[in-house]
Amino acid sequence: MARQLITFRLGEQSFGLDIMTIREIRAWSPATRLPHVPSYVAGVVNLRGTVLPVIDLAARLGWEAAVPTDRHVIIVVQTGGQLRGLIVDAVSDIVTIQEDAIQPPPTTGHDAVVPHLEGLVALEDRMVMVLDMPSLTSDVTLPEAA
């Protein structure tokens, strides 16, 4: 079965997200900080009247928090009926892959990224890590602000 992924960069590494989970991609705009939220929640932004939480993906994956600039991008995803924004460095491409081309993530090693991976996929000579959206956002139980 073919699937389409949107690939994007975060630091030096490439990630992929299933295109079906993505609502839109928009330029970075400053987020409003929220009190008492996990450190990787960068705040909330107003998306045409809908207020949605924005997650700093780098921080979520256990890396250093991003210092957002105008070059950063927010990918708006829909998961479990809720909208989330993900801060990433840059969106790269839309690619089509076969379902069976996705390799399972490594089971050894203990990087914080691994639990959030659906799998790995080889694109030409790059490796793209396919993110498992539900696991990324499952513990962010923010009330719908709107």
Partner 1 sequence: MTNEEIQGIFFLECEEALALAEEGLMACQSGTADGETVNSIFRAVHSIKGGAGAFSFTLLQAFTHKFETVLSYVRDGDLALGDRLTGLMLRAFDVLSDHVASVRGEGPSPDDEAVSAELEEVAERAAAGLPIEEMTSDDVGAASVTAAADEASADDFGLDFDLDDLMGELSLDAGEAAAMEAAAAEVERRLEDGEAVVAVASAPVTDVTDMSSLPISASLHGWHVALSFADGALANGNEPLLMLRELGELGGSCLSVDASALPSLDQLTVEKSWLSWEFALPASVTRAEIEDVFDFIGDDCTLKIEEMEALPGSGPVSVTLPAYPPVAAPAPAAVMASVPAPAPAPVIVQPAAEVKSAPVPVAPLKEAAEQIPVPASAPPPSSATVPATASSAPRPVSSVGQTVRVDLAKLDRLIDTVGELVIAQAMMAQRLGHNGAAVTDEMGMLDQLTREIQESAMSIRAQPIGSVFSRVPRIVRELESSTGKKVQLTMSGESTELDKTVVERLGEPLTHLIRNAVDHGIETPEQRIASGKPAEGQLHLSAEQRGGRILISITDDGAGINREVVLRKARERGLIAPDAQLTNEEIDNLIFAAGFSTAQQVSNISGRGVGMDVVRQNVKDLGGRISIESRPGEGCTFTLALPLTLAIADGMIVTVGDQTVVIPLTHVLESLRPEEKDIDGIGQDLMVLNNRGRFLPIVPLSNATGARGALTNPGEGVLIVVDTEGHGQAVLKDEVRSLVRVRRLNLLGVWPIKRQFDVVFCRNVMIYFDQPTREKLVARFADHLAPGGHLYIGHSERVSGPAQQRLELVGNTIYRKVEA
Name the site residues for partner 1 (rule: CB under 8 A).
Answer: 12-13, 61-63, 103-115, 117, 120, 122, 125-127, 129
DSSP string, the chain: -EEEEEEEEETTEEEEEEGGGEEEEEE--PPBP-SSS-TTEEEEEEETTEEEEEEEHHHHTTSPPP---TT-EEEEEEETTEEEEEEESEEEEEEEEEGGGPBPPPSSS--TTGGGEEEEEEETTEEEEEE-HHHHHTT--PPP--
Nearer residue to partner 1 within complex by CB, 69 or 108: 108
CB 30, min distance to partner 1, A: 27
Nearer residue to partner 1 within complex by CB, 30 or 62: 62
Nearer residue to partner 1 within complex by CB, 70 or 124: 124
CB 24, min distance to partner 1, A: 27
CB 111, min distance to partner 1, A: 4
CB 127, min distance to partner 1, A: 4
